[in-house]
Homo-oligomer: A and B are copies of this chain.
């Protein structure tokens, strides 16, 4: 049950209260975060220093303003310093992925206040139901133990002291203490997947077993311990097969080759090499071959696998990535770009296989590239498309053009599919190209 003392115990488990840390609470005005603020305000006899930050996204007119008022009133009443960020016309809002955009905006604002006010920890009101929703989302995205071992309760100076309490427990606490909060309307609208899980799946799970959430909490705790053990063991193994040569790290190729696929993957993943095919290539490559991840340059050498942090000024990016070949007679072809490129935006494009020429590949944009953006009529220069999407130079560099073997442009990854090749209702053979990400903590 959530009580003031149960909460304090949780907080004590996360940090050393005797250090007198200072906090910035992220408060939306919903039950979860208002209860969090209340719990902190009741801690104050212990001379605890905390402030509150609220973002008004202006997405829901009066509703947004009422949310702000609830938080502002709470701060006034309890004499807590209140920080407000009002989203304005200048904060460009992207067409897709409002959630990610809002998240970036939010954390930037919080970090600024923390720096200015010298506040050690950002505190958020994530709870056990958030934990379960994220778990299911990650399960639907093929996550391994890292994605399935839970939102961390203390990471990167962000604390989540309500993670072990369910939404019901938080509402119960709010009721018992006559706490005024706002129904969190934004949650009900913006995130289709999370809301489907929240409103349709979690209630069914709870029906199977009255202790579902309690038991899920234990499962997560066990998986988290397992994850920590795996990370520690991988570190020990890596240390055993590493030498340092001047500033570079060298992994013994012979020793690494003797380890299981799992260990190879877990070690090379740390340096950004995550694709099974690429890892296989590394082991079969001749001496002198180079491989590049986002941050590292790996050279296969007689001495071993030499890992250098990439010097950004002389970065050599691959210009073409050839995708796995497929027999176009199959009914369903599935290509997940996750095995090829880093991205942070999910998409799922379905093509008419008969219109494609395999193998497909990814390349960088070229002058004169044109395509037929899905959802619009007519064709468009890719460079014009970039301008209209208001992409930064950096964002532009991360864009890939998906082509078939006849250099027909099938889509601009991850932004827009080409409508000429889209599958239709009666299409017989389809090719799905997708990128699925692990769910970030929103």
Chain A interface mostly: helix
Q: Which listed residue, B140, B145, B196, touches A222 by the CB 8 Å rule?
A: B145
Contacts of A204 in B (CB 8 A): 196, 200-201, 204
Residue of B nearest to A261 (CB): B225
A144 within 8 A of B: yes
A392 within 8 A of B: no
Q: Which listed residue, B148, B212, B263, B348, touches A229 by the CB 8 Å rule?
A: B263
Interface 9-mer from A48-56, A115-123, A213-221, A407-415: A213-221
Q: Is the CB of B229 within 8 A of A144?
A: no
A18 within 8 A of B: no
Q: Which listed residue, B140, B214, B229, touches A216 by the CB 8 Å rule?
A: B140
Q: Contacts A226-B145, A233-B233 hold; do A205 and B140 have CB atoms under 8 A apart? A: yes
Q: How far is the CA of A4 from the CA of B301 in the complex (A)?
A: 44
Q: Is the CB of B140 within 8 A of A223?
A: no
Kindly report how many copies of this chain are found in the complex they form together: 2
A158 within 8 A of B: no
Q: Contacts A201-B204, A226-B262 hold; do A436 and B140 have CB atoms under 8 A apart? A: no
Q: Is the CB of A228 within 8 A of B262?
A: yes
Q: How far is the CA of A138 from the CA of B196 in the complex (A)?
A: 22
Bits for A389-402, please: 1 = Cβ < 8 Å to B, else 0. Answer: 00000000000000
Interface residues of A in 185-221 (CB under 8 A from B): 193, 196-197, 200-201, 204-205, 207-212, 214-216, 218-219
Q: Is the CB of A332 within 8 A of B1?
A: yes
Q: Which listed residue, B196, B200, B208, B261, touches A140 by the CB 8 Å rule?
A: B208
Q: Is the CB of B148 within 8 A of A225?
A: no
Contacts of A216 in B (CB 8 A): 139-140, 142
Q: How far is the CA of A212 from the CA of B434 in the complex (A)?
A: 13
Bits for A138-160, please: 1 = Cβ < 8 Å to B, else 0. Answer: 11111111001000000000000
Interface centre among A137, A144, A229, A436 (most CB of B within 10 A): A229
State how many angstroms separate the Cβ of A228 from the closest Cβ of chain B.
7
Contacts of A219 in B (CB 8 A): 138-139, 142-144, 148
A260 within 8 A of B: yes
Contacts of A261 in B (CB 8 A): 225
Q: How far is the CA of A230 from the CA of B144 in the complex (A)?
A: 14
Interface centre among A137, A212, A331 (most CB of B within 10 A): A212
Contacts of A230 in B (CB 8 A): 226, 229-230
Q: Is the CB of A222 within 8 A of B144?
A: yes
Q: Is the CB of B144 within 8 A of A215?
A: no
Q: Is the CB of A215 within 8 A of B1?
A: no
A136 within 8 A of B: yes
Q: Is the CB of A207 within 8 A of B215?
A: no
Contacts of A223 in B (CB 8 A): 144-145, 148
Q: How far is the CA of A209 from the CA of B201 in the complex (A)?
A: 13
State how many angstroms separate the Cβ of A441 from the closest Cβ of chain B.
18
Contacts of A208 in B (CB 8 A): 136-137, 140, 193, 196-197, 201
Q: Is the CB of B229 within 8 A of A262?
A: yes
Contacts of A214 in B (CB 8 A): 142, 334
A-B contact pairs, 8 of them (CB 8 A): A139-B215, A144-B219, A145-B223, A148-B223, A196-B204, A196-B208, A201-B204, A226-B226
